[in-house]
Amino acid sequence: MLTLPTSVVPGRLHEKLRAIAAGGFDAIDLSLTDVAQFDGTLAELARLIAEAGLIVASLGPLEAGATSLAIAAKQEMARTLGVKLLLVEIADPVLPVLQGHPDVKIALRPTRAVEAAVTAWVKERNDPQIGLALNAFDVLGDGSRPARLRDLDGAAVFHVALWDGPQQPMLPGQGTLNLGGLARVLARGGYDGPWSVGVAPDGPDTVSNAYRALVTVLSDAAMTEPLLRDATPNLPPKVPTKGFEFIEFAVDPASASELESTLTAMAFRRERKHLSKKVTLWRQGAVNIVINQEGAGHAGQAFEDHGPCVCDMGLRVQDAAETVARAKALGTQDFRQSVGLGELTIPAIHGVGGSVIHFIDEHSDLHRVWDIEFEPVTRAQAVPPAGLRRIDHVAQTMRYDEMQSWLLYYLSTFEMTKTPIVNVTDPSGIVRSQAIESPEGDVRLNLNGAADAQTLAGSFVSGRPGAGVQHIAFQTDDIFETSAQLAAANFDRLVIPHNYYVDTQATFGLDDDEATALQHHNILYDHDVHGSYYQLYGGAIFNGFFFEIVQRKGRYAGYGARNAPVRLAAQSQARKRQGAA
């Protein structure tokens, strides 16, 4: 049984119930506050819940310190509502006098400090009507491991809430607690009760995010624990991503010219054009950039909403249809638009900030889209490549309050892992950045949350109805050679202050030649025990979008976090100069 506390959902009770039922949950944890605020009898409340197609998994919780009389009164309330479980929070090892009730069980939810004492008391009492309610935030938040509960009798546990952490309550997947391990341990111990989830109310996406998070953590755990397979709906497995197939821009003639000039300076070649649309393909190495000047369809709407922007992203996956099936099962809408004669219907879902993600596999003709829908263009002069091999990562900027939602979106749909959040200092505030990537690093995404509209990231999303791709990084095997070729083509690059190179040389013990080369090319540098990282940034185009070129040496897996404040300061200065001009 999947259940959601009514206390975490915004709105009036009847609105909460509709949203919870529509979100896929079977049941609710009915808060006492919602009962108190309901303008009607308990019988009418019970009928309202039943009409929504929900059952009540629990009533409560009663706050710690409740008297025996208060607990008995709430048991009677639960009986009247037809609820079979009352949650009671416990913060003191000295428990109130509890009376078993033939119709209403009591589940004691102890804090971590009194968990051992309360667990021992429940075991000694051995009353089938009195058991435990466990909240993962309390159980694991102090660094404890799920294995410490392996001897717990699961039959004595009546309710489990999978709240992530450890610093503050979060949805599963947003924190670092081993919730899957906890679920497996409890299932092996005999627990077969409700699984609850919830955090502070978080706007209109609260229910969908909670469902996505809870189903994902339980289905992942069920892959190695068959006892959990009945706890979640049948869900296709997480999807391995094999790389970026294309990035598509929605533009008008003016911004198309600006983008094409930048791509030309980076040695991209205009290789193909669509058979029937104003769409062209630019290519270098394994990088496919699509420029869409159509005024209709998704690209036209994206341009109207955002101006020139990345409107679509294509990912290579093992099975495109299965990818969409999993996303839909988790509440994501698939994307459809009319296709012309001879065009492919490519499976797709809605993505970040109104964008779209298409999926390309090799089980069908999808991987032949460039041959089927496009034709080669004649080139007056061959352009030698500059060594850009593939897309290293894509950075998506959003408001900070949306960041956790999109983190869940990616981690629940795809086989990806996350890194800890990094606070990046912008001259006008703090930007929070979190990287996620596929196991082999074929797809890397940086999610940047802007809390301050004055930051570079904040100005990018200011006035936009959602998030967007702010920069794309291309990978090269020799960044100095690439840089020299781009310089010959007048590539507009970000100028880095001299003092950065003095500090970098001292920090990493670089010799004079390497430090001089870095400064000459305006290349940023980072190094750790695994390898080295080089970064070259282009100037901003249209609405603050920019390209980056990187080189990874050894097993360096980061993104040059130490360089971010310097880069942001340089970009801020460049923006001021452009504004003055």
Alpha-carbon span 569 to 575, nearest angstrom: 10
How far is it between the farthest Cα atoms of the chain? 90
For the chain, helix, strand, coil in percent to 5 are 40, 30, 35
Residues 6+ apart with CB under 8 A from 386: 266, 267, 284, 476, 482, 485, 486, 489
436: three-class secondary structure by DSSP: strand
pLDDT at 423: 80
Alpha-carbon span 521 to 77, nearest angstrom: 73
Alpha-carbon span 264 to 459, nearest angstrom: 27
What single-letter DSSP state applies at residue 523? -
Residues 6+ apart with CB under 8 A from 55: 1, 26, 27, 28, 49
Give the angle subtended at the CA of 356 by the CAs of 548 and 367, to the nearest 5°.
85
Alpha-carbon span 441 to 156, nearest angstrom: 44
C-alpha atoms less than 13 angstroms from C-alpha of 185 in its C-beta half-sphere: 19
327-331 contacts, C-beta under 8 A, 24 or more apart: 327/413, 329/215, 329/233, 329/235, 329/236, 330/211, 330/212, 330/215, 330/216, 330/235, 330/412, 330/413, 331/23, 331/24, 331/208, 331/211, 331/212
The one-letter amino acid code at 31 reads S
Q: What is the pLDDT along the chain (581 residues), one digit of tens a residue?
A: 999 999 999 889 999 999 999 999 999 999 999 999 999 999 999 999 999 999 999 999 999 999 999 999 999 999 999 999 999 999 998 888 888 788 999 999 999 999 999 999 999 999 999 999 999 999 999 999 999 999 999 999 999 999 999 988 999 998 999 999 999 999 999 999 999 998 777 667 889 999 999 999 999 999 899 999 888 888 888 888 999 999 999 999 999 999 999 999 999 999 999 999 999 999 999 999 999 999 888 999 999 988 999 999 999 998 898 999 999 999 888 998 777 777 788 899 988 777 899 999 987 778 889 999 999 998 756 778 999 999 999 999 888 778 888 899 999 999 999 988 888 877 667 788 899 999 999 999 999 887 665 566 555 655 555 568 999 999 999 999 999 999 999 999 999 999 999 999 999 999 999 999 999 999 999 999 999 999 999 999 987 899 999 999 999 999 999 999 999 999 988 887 766 55
Specify burial of residue 487 (Cβ count, 10 A radius: 0-12, 13-18, 19+). Answer: middle
What single-letter DSSP state applies at residue 465? S
Decide the pairing of beta strands 388-399 and 468-476: antiparallel
C-alpha atoms less than 13 angstroms from C-alpha of 523 in its C-beta half-sphere: 27
| Paired strand residues for 279 | 292
Q: By the 8 A CB rule, do 397 and 468 touch?
A: yes
Q: By the 8 A CB rule, do 479 and 520 touch?
A: no
Nearest to 171 by CA among 329, 414, 406: 406
Q: Please state, in angstroms and as integers, the Cα–Cα distance from residue 580 to each residue in 461, 492, 570, following that order.
A: 22, 18, 15
Residues 6+ apart with CB under 8 A from 525: 504, 508, 510, 518, 532, 533, 534, 535, 563
Say how many Å lie between the first and final Cα of the chain, rounded: 62
- The reply to whether the predicted model has a pTM over 0.85 is yes
